[in-house]
Amino acid sequence: MRHIGMPTDFLKETSQNPVLTTIFTADPSAHVWEDGRIYIYASHDMDPARGCDLMDRYHVFSSEDMVNWVDEGEILSSDDVSWGRPEGGFMWAPDCAFKNGTYYFYYPHPSGSNGNGSWKMGVATSQHPRSGFTDQGYIVGLGGFAMIDPCVLVDDDGRAYMYYGGGSRCAGGELNDDMLSIKEDMQDMVGLEDFHEAAWVFKRNHLYYLTYSDNLDNLNRMRYATSTSPLGPWTYRGIFLEPTGCSTSHGSVAEFKGQWYMFYHNQAISDLGNLRSVCIDPLFFNEDGTIQTVIQTKEGIHPVAPAPVPNPNATTYSVENGTLGGGALFVTNELSKSIVSHLPMPGSYCQFDHVDGARGGRAAIYIRYATTERLTKLHLTVNGDDLSLLNALSTGSLTDTVGRASITVQLQPGQDNHIRFTAVTGDICLESITVSPFSD
Ligand code: FUB
């Protein structure tokens, strides 16, 4: 049996927006796969950002109830891509498709140092939707200047189509059965109004929908068009997502357990357009198949299935098991009388040694904290490896350790793993972590 359940005190009553908060994520592509879970394949905005160029890895997230999302960990980084630009980075909006028992992860990545002029569509494959992806190179014949944001639709008859584009051009074409090559040249998608980027195609009631972001200056909206054929021509239908407050807009539409949803991003946590966060809200259709404007909420989604059960193989480590340094202090939490580690300044840290990695591989780390800052930054290292900064959001006090963050990392087999949290900005108290090894 697969164990992924999060600790009970991490379960949420509504998903809230943004729904993914611990690391910055953008460009969500959502799919429901054969295991009955819904998955989000997202871009990862690395923090601190360097425009959008530092983005050099992808995480995937999954849920069984639409509210509680598990970070399944990193599935690909620019280090894994032999043909990519030597400087790495620029791993932008991805998508994933499933066909003939294999998961195909498509991602745009430049092949040369001149970035925008050398985009190619990479493909990595796995037998699992959440791990084990290995790069298969790129699709010959695709890419070029500004051609980004691949999206793949596998139609009911098994035929697969790729769409992509940027800089006002959207193109589509059929993939061969191998899913690694195109049948004929890509053709321009005709009938779209004000196309910018972020193509996404889905099918409902025999009608194809192509959604995309427009060119509204610095505050893109999302528009859509429909067709009775997968490659158009398309009939423009209108705007269905107003600006989110972020200079880019990018989203996907998917159905889960009988309800349709809009997956998109905003910059509500960071206030910065290059440090974005994934959100989800319900999406409704009119009788005639047109899409109602999505209402962007803070509350998000109510559970559509029972909450995940905790992983019996998880271990909780209180900070008393940790080693402090750089000015960090143990203090007694006035509320719970437990000991917490106070990381008062940049550079102070709490390190957990002898963390059990079970058989080794992926493990989720669930972090309990308190902070009064709107956004506190923690630098995570695992066995000496630098990972992206983590976000800790205000709990309103330094004693009420109701703050929750989680990330999935790779651990070594056995009990000699070292996990260190270093304060970067803000003033934070850590209470404990739960380490939950994945059983697959
Ligand atoms: O995330 C990088 C780029 O920003 C995406 O590829 C675009 O769609 C925009 O969201």
At 218 the pLDDT is 86
Distance CA 203, CA 308 (A): 29
Query: Do 338 and 271 sit in the same domain of this protein?
Result: no
Query: Do 415 and 330 sit in the same domain of this protein?
Result: yes
Query: Do 152 and 58 sit in the same domain of this protein?
Result: yes
401, 429 Cβ separation under 8 angstroms: yes
Among 247, 250, 274, the mutation site with the greatest number of ligand 1 atoms within 8 A of its Cβ is 250
Distance CA 152, CA 122 (A): 13
Query: Do 126 and 187 sit in the same domain of this protein?
Result: yes
Query: Do 187 and 272 sit in the same domain of this protein?
Result: yes
Domain, as residue range, for 422: 315-437
Give this prediction's pTM. Answer: 0.97
Rounded to the nearest angstrom, the distance between the alpha carbon of 350 and the centre of ligand 1 is 35
- The tally of domains found in the chain comes to 2
At 1 the pLDDT is 63
Rounded to the nearest angstrom, the distance between the alpha carbon of 41 and the centre of ligand 1 is 13
Nearest atom, ligand 1, residue 276 CA: 1
Among 148, 241, 263, the mutation site with the greatest number of ligand 1 atoms within 8 A of its Cβ is 148
Is 30 among the domain residues?
A: yes
Is 187 among the domain residues?
A: yes
Q: Is the minimum distance from the CB of 246 to ligand 1 under 6 angstroms? A: no
At 335 the pLDDT is 83
Q: Is the minimum distance from the CB of 170 to ligand 1 under 6 angstroms? A: no
Q: Is the minimum distance from the CB of 46 to ligand 1 under 6 angstroms? A: no
Query: Do 263 and 158 sit in the same domain of this protein?
Result: yes
Nearest atom, ligand 1, residue 213 CA: 8
Query: Do 241 and 350 sit in the same domain of this protein?
Result: no
Rounded to the nearest angstrom, the distance between the alpha carbon of 252 and the centre of ligand 1 is 13
What is the residue with the minimal CA distance to atom 1 of ligand 1? 92
> Which CATH number do you get for residue 341?
2.60.120.260
Is 4 among the domain residues?
A: no
Q: Of 243, 242, 241, 280, which is closest to residue 259 (Cα–Cα)?
A: 280
Among 25, 50, 55, 92, the mutation site with the greatest number of ligand 1 atoms within 8 A of its Cβ is 92
Q: Is the minimum distance from the CB of 214 to ligand 1 under 6 angstroms? A: no
Is 297 among the domain residues?
A: no
Among 91, 106, 197, the mutation site with the greatest number of ligand 1 atoms within 8 A of its Cβ is 197
Query: Do 323 and 238 sit in the same domain of this protein?
Result: no
Rounded to the nearest angstrom, the distance between the alpha carbon of 27 and the centre of ligand 1 is 6
Per-residue pLDDT of the chain (440 residues; tens, 9 = 90+): 677 789 999 999 999 999 999 999 999 999 999 999 999 999 999 999 988 899 999 999 999 999 999 999 999 999 999 999 999 999 999 999 999 999 999 999 999 988 788 999 999 999 999 999 999 999 999 998 889 999 999 999 999 999 999 989 999 999 999 999 999 999 999 999 999 999 999 999 999 999 999 999 889 999 999 999 999 999 999 999 999 999 999 999 999 999 999 999 999 999 999 999 999 999 999 999 999 999 999 999 999 999 999 999 999 999 998 999 999 999 998 888 888 889 988 999 999 999 999 999 999 999 999 999 999 999 999 999 998 899 999 999 999 999 999 999 999 999 999 999 999 988 899 999 999 999 87
Query: Do 199 and 323 sit in the same domain of this protein?
Result: no
What is the residue with the minimal CA distance to atom 2 of ligand 1? 92
Q: Is the minimum distance from the CB of 231 to ligand 1 under 6 angstroms? A: no
Rounded to the nearest angstrom, the distance between the alpha carbon of 167 and the centre of ligand 1 is 12
Write down which residue in 239, 265, 283 finishes a domain: 283
Three-state SS letters, the chain: CCCCCCCHHHCCCCCCCCCCCCCEEEEEEEEECCCCCEEEEEEEECCCCECECCCCEEEEEEECCCCCEEEEEEEEEHHHCCCCCCCCCCCCCCEEEEECCEEEEEEEEECCCCHHHCEEEEEEEECCCCCCCEEEEECCCCCCCCCCCCEEEECCCCCEEEEEEECCEEEEEEECCCCCCECCCCEECCCCCCCCEEEEEEEECCEEEEEEECCCCCCCCEEEEEECCCCCCCEEEEEEECCCCCCCCCCEEEEECCEEEEEEEECCCCCCCCCCEEEEEEECECCCCCECCCCCCCCCCCCCCCCCCCCCCCEEEEHHHCEEECCCEEEECCCCCCEEEEECCCCCEEEEEEECCCCCEEEEEEEEEEECCCEEEEEEEECCEEEEEEEEECCCCCCCCCEEEEEEEEECCCCCEEEEEEEEECCEEEEEEEEEECCC
Nearest atom, ligand 1, residue 198 CA: 8
Is 122 among the domain residues?
A: yes
Q: Is the minimum distance from the CB of 43 to ligand 1 under 6 angstroms? A: yes
Q: Is the minimum distance from the CB of 119 to ligand 1 under 6 angstroms? A: no
Q: Is the minimum distance from the CB of 267 to ligand 1 under 6 angstroms? A: no
**Cα 198–chain centre separation:** 15
Query: Do 158 and 259 sit in the same domain of this protein?
Result: yes
Query: Do 264 and 366 sit in the same domain of this protein?
Result: no
Q: Of 5, 10, 15, 1, which is closest to residue 278 (Cα–Cα)?
A: 15
Rounded to the nearest angstrom, the distance between the alpha carbon of 211 and the centre of ligand 1 is 14
Is 1 among the domain residues?
A: no
What is the residue with the minimal CA distance to atom 4 of ligand 1? 248
Is 295 among the domain residues?
A: no
Rounded to the nearest angstrom, the distance between the alpha carbon of 26 and the centre of ligand 1 is 8
Phi, psi of 78 (to 5 degrees): -65, -20
Rounded to the nearest angstrom, the distance between the alpha carbon of 149 and the centre of ligand 1 is 7
At 338 the pLDDT is 81
Is 194 among the domain residues?
A: yes
